[in-house]
Amino acid sequence: MDGSVALDPVDLRILSLLQNDARTTYRDLAAEVGVAPSTCLDRVTRLRRSGVILGHELRLDPGKLGRGLEALLLVQVRPHRRELIGPFVERIRALPESRALFHLTGPDDYLVHVAVTGTSDLQRLVLDEFTAQREVARVETRLIFQQWECGPLLPPRTGAPSGSGQVRTQT
């Protein structure tokens, strides 16, 4: 039972609305889904406690912060052993240019999403923070032309819904 959460249509509706605007008031939420504001609070509190809602984030425009160029770096870390990749991950996460980091299957071990001021800043980053490190065997740089958020994130459509209107999901 640890990682499983039951979500009814009200929960899903609330999540969907909050994904559009996380600051929607409980009053507005209540009006949209047709329950009382206090019930909405209840639901959201439960969703936070159950770990479905991880947090409330501010989305910023990197360009407006002077980081007008973004890129994805595909990185091979060799040898790929815990005592090397642990410090590597922590070092990359601490860089002010890093936005996100993925540990992957496939020929490239990591993908790093970075935001920089321009190409010279990117060159500096690659040379000083990546290829200069002994454990970094290879870096491939892909510039980002454009990016889109998708969503909202919803549970998968279940082929055969059970008798109740509930969707049971599992970690």
Partner DNA sequence: AATGAAATGATTGGTTT
Partner DNA sequence: AAACCAATCATTTCATT
Site residues for DNA per CB under 7 A? 10, 25-28, 34-39, 41-43
Give me 47's structure tokens.
């969703």
Report if residue 30 touches a copy of itself, rule: CB under 8 A: no
**Which residues in 77-136 contact a copy of itself (CB under 8 A)?**
89, 92-96, 98-106, 108, 111, 115-117, 121
- Residues 6 or more apart whose CB falls under 8 angstroms from that of 64 comprise none
The nearest distance, CB 56 to DNA, in angstroms, is 11
Backbone phi, psi, residue 168, to 5°: -95, 125
Report if residue 160 touches a copy of itself, rule: CB under 8 A: no
Report if residue 6 touches a copy of itself, rule: CB under 8 A: no
Beta-sheet pairing, 167-169 with 5-7: antiparallel
Partner whose footprint covers residue 64, from DNA, a copy of itself, none (CB < 5 to 8 Å by kind): a copy of itself
Q: How far is the C-alpha of 156 from the C-alpha of 171, rounded, in Å? A: 13
